Chains A and B, each alone.
Chain A
Amino acid sequence: MRVLLVGGGEALGRILARRLLACPPVEHVLAVEPLGGCAHAPHPRLGRLSVPLARPRSVRDLIFDTARDAGIDTVVNAVMHGGPLVPGGPATGPEHAAFTRLLLTSVEGLEGARRFVHLSAAAVYRVGPDQPSIVTTAHPLDFSAGASGRTRALVEADLAVCARMGLSRVDMIVLRLAPLGLPRALEERARAWSLRALGHDPMSERLSLTGAADAVCLALQEGGLGVRHAAGSDVRPRSHASARDLPVPGPLLPLLLRLQGWRRSFPAEPEDPQRAVWSAVLEPTRPDFAGPERRTPEDPAHAPARGAGSRAWERRATTNETHAPPRGRASAQARPPCASAMRRTSESPSPSEPALAPARRSPR
């Protein structure tokens, strides 16, 4: 498998390239960045390229010249999670959606292309008090007039890929990622700035960049086509995720989050204001799509402050023989990044867990 990795920003692109190279089926990765300066570590099977993706001619040259010569058969579009396509442009804007449509059309014309993976985001879903807390792939998308420009661009790009799904010779996978977290060191810093929502205390969901990268690897190995969810393994009430519990009423929280413009300097998605007020947690398409970094109570950096009552529950749970063993991060890290995927593909799904959905011709 020879992969063309488009976009992805600095952090996600770097981690994704590293994880893809660790997957046995991947022979070569060609990482493309719109503005250059992507700090990929040198690797004999990794090619780096700087292409102005905002120019259609450059995109066509990339696909029909560079990618064809490199024998690319799989394209991963992470541009919706990357930085601006033009210097000084928005992190995610309408030009990203237009680029996705152009890239999709080009890939369909590329001889030898077999798979197209589009990294979408959970922000495409409508969130509100009249919506379910558990977001499945049947959840309505956000077509509301009040949706932000970023959300509209995400929905447009997402639907552009979904509309071609099953109609093209290229297998298309749309991977909707939970809100991306930051690398651990930065996440600790950012958490100190998050504000507690009084009144409404929605569940906060975070997917680490490593978890997102692993979900892409799993989706590539799994094959087929359809919409997949990569949910965050770290789900907790928003007030619990805050190191400084500032008493901020829930309805004011979106405004305050918008004022946190400094966060744009981080390579993470900006906070979705709706999600700051209403709970909406992605249901993972398969259990290991929830990311391998399942935090364990033994991890001192992330041990939550719990009362005596909670400890009593833990004792009760651990002494119960029928209780399923936790799927800890330690066990996941003991294996190579894609070992869990290889192991799971040879097993039949547990009766208690939903079976992996077969390849669908229509995502929705």
Chain B
Amino acid sequence: MSTAGLAAAAAGVVRPSPGAPGESPTGSDRLGLHRAEVERTYGLTRFFYDAWFRVDAEGHEHLPLDGPALLVANHGGMLPADAVMLWHDVLRHTGMARVPRIVADLFVPRLPFLWTWGSRCGAVDGSDATLDYLLRQGELVVVFPEGAPGIGKPRRERHQLRPFRVGHAEHAIRHGVPLVPVGLIGPDEQWPELTRLHWFHAFGAPYLPVPILPLPLPVHYHVRYGPPIETRGRFRPEDAFRPKVVAALAQELHDAVQGLVDEGVRARRGPFL
């Protein structure tokens, strides 16, 4: 945990996420987040964060310690290990007081066991109503606007972001919440893919990726938080119903995230260093 995160937690300036046990006697919030499970999973992922992927993060001063916000990150790596590492990083640098609510694709809630675990750790389904609810509750929401195309892009197109979907920009304008671009460097090289089984659609999955290795490669992860893009004052809530405005904001975010990724790729010495 960073010194800033520890100090913030000790000073009590970090507000616990809604649904903390003081408010929710059962320890679960209305969407299934369970604090004890968050702590257990945090401990389980520590090895991958510290030893396997050796996550190197910077720009935590842009991470909002209070109030609703949207973290917008790029996606890659066949399976969403980048989401787990980002989840761990936010927890670590906010003194575990802000549990990032990762928005999953609509087919993910169909996955048994995995979704139960994910929802207890704060993952939510990617629907408008759920996102509206979370932002009204002042939660820190993480979205990957590239979606499944981003996670499945071929190796030759690594570090090139897919077009962003626009739902996150619409919600940010409607609720007046800041958008924090996050560049993840490393996921695109983490897990070489052998082939894809396109006939496999169990649980609503678009396809089944077949990896070369049973475990991801120990690439060096870099997480870079960019300065937040404010929407309050810049947009009016009714602008959320203007597609061109929303698309322009989504493109601005796309460029910001792409810029962070490009900077990170230039700054690193290699995928494993």
Query: What is A's interface to B at a CB cutoff of 8 Å?
Result: 129-136, 138-139, 198-201, 203, 234-237, 240, 250, 278-279, 281, 283, 294-297, 299, 302, 304, 306-307, 309-310, 312-314, 316-327, 352, 354
Contact = CB atoms under 8 A, between A and B. Distances in A.
Contacts of B196: none
Interface in B214-268: none
B126 to A, nearest CB: 9
Contacts of A307: 36
Given A203-B32, A309-B39, A322-B12, A129 B109 contact: yes
21 contacts: A129-B106, A129-B109, A131-B127, A132-B129, A135-B129, A136-B132, A199-B113, A199-B116, A200-B115, A203-B32, A281-B30, A281-B31, A283-B30, A304-B25, A309-B39, A314-B21, A318-B22, A320-B16, A322-B13, A326-B22, A327-B23
A259 to B, nearest CB: 22
Nearest to B204: A129
B26 A234 contact: yes
B130 to A, nearest CB: 5
Given A199-B112, A310-B35, A317-B21, 12 more contacts: A133-B30, A133-B127, A198-B112, A200-B112, A200-B116, A283-B133, A306-B36, A309-B39, A316-B9, A316-B16, A322-B12, A324-B22
A16 B130 CA distance: 32
B116 to A, nearest CB: 4
A309 B116 contact: no
Size range of the interface on B? 35 or more
B129 A138 contact: yes
Instruction: Say what secondary structure dominates the interface of chain A.
Output: loop
A309 B30 contact: no
A302 B25 contact: yes
Contacts of B113: 198-199
Interface string B203-220: 010000000000000000
Contacts of A326: 22-23, 25
Contacts of A278: 109
Interface in B137-169: 137-138
A203 B30 contact: yes
Nearest to B9: A316
Q: What are the 5 A-B residue pairs with the smallest beta carbon separation, nearest first?
A: A199-B112, A132-B127, A132-B129, A309-B39, A310-B36
B34 to A, nearest CB: 7
A158 B120 CA distance: 33
B193 to A, nearest CB: 26
A324 B23 contact: yes
Interface in B101-140: 106-107, 109-110, 112-113, 115-116, 119-120, 124-125, 127-130, 132-133, 136-138
Contact of A320 (B12, B24, B106, B116): B12
Interface in B26-52: 26-32, 34-36, 39-40
A304 B127 contact: no
B35 A352 contact: no
Contacts of A322: 12-13, 15
A279 B32 contact: yes
A324 B137 CA distance: 13
B40 A309 contact: yes
A240 B28 contact: yes
Contacts of B22: 314, 317-318, 323-326
A261 B50 CA distance: 53
Contacts of A299: 25
Contact of A313 (B13, B39, B112): B39
Contact of A354 (B16, B25, B125, B136): B136
B81 interface: no
Contact of A294 (B12, B25, B35, B127): B25
Contact of A236 (B20, B26, B107): B26
Contact of A312 (B12, B39, B109, B112): B39
A235 B28 contact: yes
Contacts of B39: 309-310, 312-313
Contact of A203 (B27, B31, B36, B112): B31
Contacts of B23: 324, 326-327
A134 B35 contact: no
A235 B165 CA distance: 32
A214 to B, nearest CB: 18
Nearest to B114: A199
Contacts of B27: 236, 304, 306, 310, 313
B31 A133 contact: yes
A313 B76 CA distance: 32
A95 to B, nearest CB: 33
B47 to A, nearest CB: 18
A329 to B, nearest CB: 9
A317 B21 CA distance: 7
Given A203-B32, A281-B30, A310-B35, A132 B128 contact: yes
A314 to B, nearest CB: 4
B15 A313 contact: no
A297 B21 contact: yes
A313 B32 contact: no
A317 to B, nearest CB: 4
A295 B31 contact: no
Which of A129, A135, A321, A325 has its CB near the most chain B CB atoms (within 10 A)?
A129
